[in-house]
Amino acid sequence: MKFVLLELLAEQPRHGYELIKALEQRNAGFYRPSPGSVYPLLQLLEDEGSVTSEQVEGKRVYTITDAGRQLLEQHRQRRPGRPEGEGGNGPDAELERLQRSAMALMSSVKEVARHGTPEQRRAALERLDATRRELYRMLAQEDAGGLV
């Protein structure tokens, strides 16, 4: 999560709650880090010189430092194939596309759960269960020496 926080702070200075909300939004509402995990990490980043903080209108606002940007760049370079945005190539880019697709699916499941009729919810559950079984079947067949 250290590098995720640095990525967010590279976009703009933010206070802790803004970081928590940004992480929640980027994860389609399915993951929201606790203040107990974010604030100690921000303190660690500040202690190591990767971020600075200042009190602004009663809130502690964190800003990435040059050292933090350098650390973030080193992290990016250690992950070859990771796209800078859309359309990258390589295993990391493929994994990122798979994760984005899963997040989009989770977002649509959330909408069906909130707003769907009972029939739509049942149909969604059947499709999700079938898809989950198919993914495991695909992995089992690959382990056995063949792909679907």
Task: Quickly count: other Cβ atoms within 10 Å of residue 109's Cβ.
Answer: 18
Identify any residues that bridge with 56 across adjacent strands, giving them in sequence order: 59
Decide if 83 is inside a domain. Answer: no
Residues 96 and 56 in one domain: no
Closest listed residue to residue 13, CA positions, set 65, 61, 69: 61
- Residues in the chain with pLDDT < 70? 79-92, 142-148
pLDDT tens digits for range 96-134 = 788 888 888 888 899 999 999 999 999 999 999 999 899
Which domain-ending residue is among 32, 48, 77? 77
Q: What pLDDT, on the 0 to 100 scale, is given for residue 84? A: 47
Q: Where among 27, 47, 77 does a domain terminate? A: 77
Res 85: pLDDT: 46
Q: Are residues 14 and 60 in the same domain?
A: yes
For residue 45, tell me if it sits in a domain. Answer: yes
Question: Which residue range(s) make up the domain with 11?
Answer: 2-77
Which residues, other chains included, contact 6 with Cβ-Cβ below 8 Å and sequence gap of 6+?
45, 50, 51, 64, 68, 69, 71, 72, 75
Q: How many domains does the chain have?
A: 2
Do 69 and 8 sit in the same domain of this protein? Answer: yes
Taking the model in full, what pTM does it have?
A: 0.57
